[in-house]
């Protein structure tokens, strides 16, 4: 069993609290909140296991934080994932929401290019997300100052007939719809959505 405490805390959403893995700097541990069912967590794990059967060596970059198994913690059963860090400083990468709220740090153009790259990779490798929110995307700052956007939450889909898993025509449409639905049609559009969403 590993012990997680305040010093390991990274952030949280409605579902889980995220901690730095005390013994592995490249991983984080997510502990589901009390109301989250095992069924919910397990469905997500199954999607990651399905993705892991694919050949990931052709990815331009690891565009989602991958699942690395479960582990007992003092706070309950946790799931281990890749932790995103900036290349040069090694600090834990900030979310896209953070950069959209702190406009002076990175240009909109850089963020937009990174989003286009993410979309291209999701389309090419048929990886979907149910919850494409700026707070579920991490911005890894590279040595040359460019950004890679990495999905840290919400991966998977609920399609009963998963045509998009198999046919490029459907996967392309599905990802187009996802980007539209979550207001990723431009950086300005996303900023306006964040303002409205966060009231």
Nearer to ligand ADP, 1 or 14 (CB): 14
Check residue 142 and report its DSSP letter.
P
Segment contacting ligand ADP by CB under 6 A, of 13-21, 54-62, 108-116, 183-191: 13-21
Residue number of the CB closest to ligand ADP reads 13
C-alpha pair distances (Å), 161 with each of 19, 158, 181: 35, 9, 20
Crossing angle (nearest 10°) for helices 168-181 and 108-125: 150
Contact 116, 99 (CB under 8 A): no
Residue 140 touches ligand ADP, criterion: CB under 6 A: no
C-alpha 112/C-alpha 109 separation (Å) is: 5
Contact 148, 142 (CB under 8 A): yes
Residue 14 touches ligand ADP, criterion: CB under 6 A: yes
Binding to ligand ADP (CB under 6 A): which residues in 142-181? 152-153
Residue 41 touches ligand ADP, criterion: CB under 6 A: no
Segment contacting ligand ADP by CB under 6 A, of 56-64, 79-87, 118-126, 170-178: 79-87
Contacts with Mg ion by CB under 5 A lie at: 13, 136, 153
Residue 55, both tokens = 């050949």
Looking at 4, 21, 65, 80, which residue binds ligand ADP (CB under 6 A)?
65
Residue 79 touches ligand ADP, criterion: CB under 6 A: no
Q: Which does 162 bind (CB under 5 to 8 A by kind): ligand ADP, Mg ion, none?
A: none
Residue 105, both tokens = 């740090």
Per DSSP, helices labelled H in the chain are: 38-51, 96-101, 108-125, 168-181, 187-197
**Which of 115, 94, 92 lies closest to 190, judged by CA?**
115
Residue 10 touches ligand ADP, criterion: CB under 6 A: yes
In angstroms, give the least distance from the CB of 133 to ligand ADP.
8
In angstroms, give the least distance from the CB of 166 to ligand ADP.
28
164: Cα separation from own chain's centroid: 20
The site for ligand ADP (CB under 6 A) is made up of 10-16, 18, 28, 30, 65, 81-84, 92-93, 95, 135-136, 138, 152-153
């Amino acid at each position: 069993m590993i012990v997680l405490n305040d010093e390991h805390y990274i952030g949280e959403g409605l579902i889980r609290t995220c901690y730095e893995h005390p013994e592995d700097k490249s991983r984080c541990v997510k502990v589901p909140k009390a109301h989250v069912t095992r069924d919910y967590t397990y469905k997500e794990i199954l999607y990651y296991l399905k993705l892991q059967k694919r050949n990931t060596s052709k990815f331009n970059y690891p565009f989602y934080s991958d699942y690395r198994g479960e582990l007992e913690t003092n706070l309950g059963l946790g799931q281990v994932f890749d932790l995103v860090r900036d290349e040069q400083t090694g600090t834990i990468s900030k979310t896209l929401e953070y950069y959209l709220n702190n406009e002076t740090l990175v240009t909109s153009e850089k963020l937009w290019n990174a989003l286009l790259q993410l979309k291209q990779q999701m389309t090419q490798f048929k990886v979907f997300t149910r919850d494409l929110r700026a707070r579920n995307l991490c911005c890894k700052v590279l040595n040359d100052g460019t950004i890679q956007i990495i999905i840290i939450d919400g991966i998977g889909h609920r399609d009963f007939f998963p045509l998009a898993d198999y046919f490029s025509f459907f996967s392309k449409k599905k990802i187009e719809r996802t980007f539209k639905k979550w207001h990723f049609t431009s950086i300005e559009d996303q900023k306006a959505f964040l303002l409205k969403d966060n009231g």
